[in-house]
Chain A
Amino acid sequence: MKTDILVDTKGMACPMPIVKAKKALDGLLPGQVMEVHSTDKGSVNDFQAWVKQTKHELLKHEEENNVFKFFVKKV
């Protein structure tokens, strides 16, 4: 998937993954895609709830070698 920005929050704990992601998303243009990497399992549900509530689009999320990857399209 083509992404416009990669936000690496590996090793960070709550709330930093979403704080960083929000900052990055604020700087994007509508239609652009952000990819977020996180190792905080606890953030997974929070991340989904946050994206849903911001009305942006969670294109997909996956787990690879204990890294959670989220792809969010700015609306």
Chain B
Amino acid sequence: MNTDANRMNMMTAKELTRIILAKEEIFILDVRNENDYNDWKIEGESVEIINIPYFDLLDGVDEALDKLPDGKKLLVVCAKEGSSKFVAEQIVDAGRTDVHYLEGGMKAWSEYLEPVKIGDLKDGGSLYQFVRIGKGCLSYMVLSKGEAAVIDTLRMTDVFEQFAKEQGVQIKHTLDTHLHADHISGGRKLAEQSGATYWLPPKDATEVTFDYEKLEEGQGITIGSTTLRIQPIYSPGHTIGSTSFIIDDQYLLTGDILFIESIGRPDLAGKAEDWVGDLRNTLYNRYKELSQDLIVLPAHFGKVTELGEGGRVMAKLSDLFLHNPGLNIQQEKDFRSAVTENLPPQPNAYQEIRQTNMGKITPSEEEQREMEIGPNRCAVHDK
């Protein structure tokens, strides 16, 4: 970081991610309007954050200064960047030091992906998780002998292309565990750009307007060599087509069915009542039959407490059966009410996002960005 104590400094989303993952103390002044702030903000165990809209600071920042601790790293954040610079500059003029603004604002925060290595595979390949820390989305890349597959690809396809290039692998497959409702899938675009095959569960793809390969249980996908297999497991509940993957007999990618501290919600395609039974069966029967030593890798996290070492989001299946509240509801009727009643608000623009992922509408880059603003809200307990 290029830090000059007496100037306003720029901080990138990558630098902020590093600070949050290292649990370094930071004080954030968010100058967006109150509604946007309450809907979605930067979170972290070492983050202290307050909200004063920039339009309350047009006549000066005195009101804000009283609330900002001296001697602590300060980051001013707004939607895009302009207002945070406007406020940060005045704070520096008032004599404060170690003052930063977030480059690209919450827009950049929403789009930043941090790649973290999950582990090595038996044949010498490796598995990476891409943590979209601002929005709580997770993608995966499986690499083996010069080839790669990307699972639950996010919209920022250039990140995956760049990473594959650095690792010297060619992306051969992109797979989605289900038709996403909280973010726009980059799976189809990445497949087109890389000459890869795009795979979707057919039961989620009945209305799609493009060609895809069908993800079906029993049909493995091979990467790099015959030793590495991605094994689809039909696991409905969040959507009717939801499919989990077992990779290298070690990892279980659960999509939006099972998270670390919560479970998926069954209502985002308007079918809560119909899909409750499927969700329960997947969680309490299908997953029970799998090896309990599998490492669960979900498509989301809801709380920062789910971020482990270095930002990794992972847990052993047996541990989740012990500690995840969603896997410990004994009575079916209690389960039914837990996943259909008092659910958090639905993700921003979730219907338009589903339409986009089906290829029915094609919003511009800017519109896609707007549609994705906010937290993911795919779990039943996320508030």
Which chain A positions have C-beta within 8 A of B79? 14, 42
A52 to B83, CA, bound (A): 19
Would you call B35 and A13 a contact (CB within 8 A)?
A: no
Are A15 and B54 in contact, with the CB atoms below 8 A? yes
CB–CB B55/A16 < 8 A: no
- Shortest CB-to-CB span from A43 to chain B, Å, is 9
**Chain A at the B interface: SS class:** helix
B36 within 8 A of A: yes
B163 contacts the other chain (CB 8 A): no
Does B34 sit at the interface, judged by CB under 8 A?
A: yes
A18 at the binding interface (Cβ < 8 Å): yes
CB pair B83–A14 under 8 Å, yes or no, is: yes
Tell whether A1 is near chain B: CB-to-CB under 8 Å: no
- Interface flags, A6-22, vs B, CB<8A=1, else 0: 00000001111011001
State in angstroms the CA–CA spacing of A14 and B55 once bound together.
10
Find chain B residues with CB under 8 A from A15 CB: 54-55, 58, 82-83, 86
- Complex Cα distance A22/B78, Å? 19
Assess the B80–A46 pair: CB atoms within 8 A: no
Question: A residues near B, CB below 8 A?
Answer: 13-16, 18-19, 22, 41-42, 45-46, 49-50, 53
B58:A19 contact, CB within 8 angstroms: yes
Residue B33 is within 8 A (CB to CB) of chain A in the complex: yes
Contact sample, A vs B, 15 pairs, CB 8 Å cutoff: A13-B80, A14-B78, A14-B80, A14-B83, A15-B86, A18-B54, A18-B58, A45-B33, A46-B32, A46-B33, A46-B55, A49-B34, A49-B55, A50-B33, A53-B53
Q: Which chain A residues border B86 with CB–CB below 8 Å?
A: 15, 19
Apart from the given pairs A14-B78, A14-B83, A45-B35, 15 other A-B contacts in the complex at a CB distance below 8 Å:
A14-B79, A14-B80, A15-B55, A15-B58, A18-B54, A41-B370, A42-B79, A45-B33, A45-B36, A46-B53, A46-B54, A46-B55, A49-B33, A53-B53, A53-B56
Interface residues of B (CB under 8 A from A): 32-36, 53-56, 58, 78-80, 82-83, 86, 370
**Interface hub of A13, A14, A16 (most chain B Cβ within 10 A):** A14
Q: Is the Cβ of B80 less than 8 Å from the Cβ of A42?
A: yes
Nearest chain B residue, comparing its CB with the CB of A48: B33
Which residues of chain A have C-beta atoms less than 8 A from B32's C-beta? 46
CA distance A42 to B104 in the complex (A): 13
CB proximity of A34 to chain B, nearest CB, Å: 15
Point out the residue from A14, A22, A49 that lies within 8 Å of B82, measured CB to CB.
A14
Cβ B53 vs Cβ A22 within 8 A: no
A18 touches B80 (CB 8 A): no
Alpha-carbon gap, A53 to B63, bound state (A): 15
Q: Nearest CB to that of B54 among chain A residues?
A: A15
What chain A residues lie within 8 Å of B35 (beta carbons)? 45, 49
| A18 and B33 contacting across the interface, CB-CB below 8 Å | no
Which residues of chain A have C-beta atoms less than 8 A from B33's C-beta?
45-46, 49-50
Task: Evaluate contact between B53 and A16: CB separation under 8 angstroms.
Answer: no
